[in-house]
Amino acid sequence: MSCRVVVLISGRGSNMGVLIDAVREGRLEAELVRVISNRASAAGLERAADAEIDTAVINHRSFSERALFDQALTREIDDARPDLVVLAGFMRIFTAAFVEHFRGRMINIHPALLPRYPGLHTHERVLEAGDEVHGASAHFVTEEVDGGPVIVEAELSVTKDDTADKLNARVLRLEHHLLPSAVHWFANGRLELAANGVHLDGELLGERGVVFELQGETLTRMEGPASADLLV
């Protein structure tokens, strides 16, 4: 039976779109059963509806407390009976109860090399710090914002001409490889969050998960099991 996936978005939904395409083209064995946004205006909702995926909006502004929003969101997610919940640009911070409910079955994509630069404005912060490498990470979600165990990272070199916009575009391309790959591994029963960390194909991953480096146009694996294949 294929893996049932609920995707949470807040905006454009390009990461979600990559998942939709991968499923439609038969590269990703998963079923996108529902897309939920906290904003009715999220452009990604239209894209999901066009792909005939069930959509829902739960507006965080309609709730007086974070816990009440999280409870409503939990009900909406659980109702779709997902095996996996994917945060694809979902811009809300969760309560501990929410995170605990989905522990080991909720992953997030983040535009930085975690544990460096959790939170917002990662590209600006990388430029300010003068870092020479930057990238993206997919990780399991825990209480700490953008702090959960890393599944996979991809890094690229920052050049002298880089701006936040340029980095945003290049890092987003990395995200579009990492997120479907992590979903693919999970959907095939290859990825697991255990007490001692993330396991892929039976191997305990290091703190940065599987690490890829962008060399020219190619992502080359630097750390992690040789079986760790990117879904492209």
Q: Are strands 197-200 and 203-204 parallel, antiparallel or unpaired?
A: antiparallel
Residue 172 in contact with ligand GRF, rule: CB under 6 A: yes
Residue 187 in contact with ligand GRF, rule: CB under 6 A: no
Shortest distance (Å) from residue 185 CB to ligand GRF: 18
Stretch that binds ligand GRF, among 93-101, 103-111, 147-155, 184-192 (CB under 6 A): 103-111
Tell me how far apart the alpha carbons of residues 33 and 168 are, in angstroms, rounded to a whole number.
Answer: 29
C-beta separation of 205 from 197 below 8 A? yes
Q: Are strands 191-194 and 218-223 parallel, antiparallel or unpaired?
A: unpaired
Residue 55 in contact with ligand GRF, rule: CB under 6 A: no
- Per DSSP, the chain holds a count of helices (H) and strands (E) of 6, 12
Size of the site for ligand GRF (CB under 6 A): 14
Residue 166 in contact with ligand GRF, rule: CB under 6 A: no
The residue number with the shortest CB distance to ligand GRF is 89
121 counts as catalytic: no
Stretch that binds ligand GRF, among 7-15, 20-28, 55-63, 201-209 (CB under 6 A): 7-15
**Residues with Cβ < 8 Å from 160, sequence gap 6 or more?**
none
Tell me the per-residue interface mask from 32 to 51 with ligand GRF, x by CB under 6 A, - otherwise: ------------x-------
Residue 224 in contact with ligand GRF, rule: CB under 6 A: no
Between 125 and 199, CB nearer to ligand GRF: 125
**Residues with Cβ < 8 Å from 51, sequence gap 6 or more?**
20, 24, 32
Active-site residue, from 101, 110, 121, 139: 110
Tell me how far apart the alpha carbons of residues 155 and 165 are, in angstroms, rounded to a whole number.
Answer: 17
- Closest to 142 in 3D by CA, of 121, 122, 114: 114
**Residues with Cβ < 8 Å from 75, sequence gap 6 or more?**
none
Tell me how far apart the alpha carbons of residues 160 and 26 are, in angstroms, rounded to a whole number.
Answer: 40
Give the residue, chosen from 3, 6, 8, 15, that forms a contact with ligand GRF under the rule CB under 6 A: 15
Give the residue, chosen from 14, 37, 55, 181, that forms a contact with ligand GRF under the rule CB under 6 A: 14
Shortest distance (Å) from residue 203 CB to ligand GRF: 26
Q: Which residues are catalytic?
A: 110
Residue numbers at the binding site for ligand GRF (CB under 6 A): 9, 11-15, 44, 88-89, 109-111, 172, 175
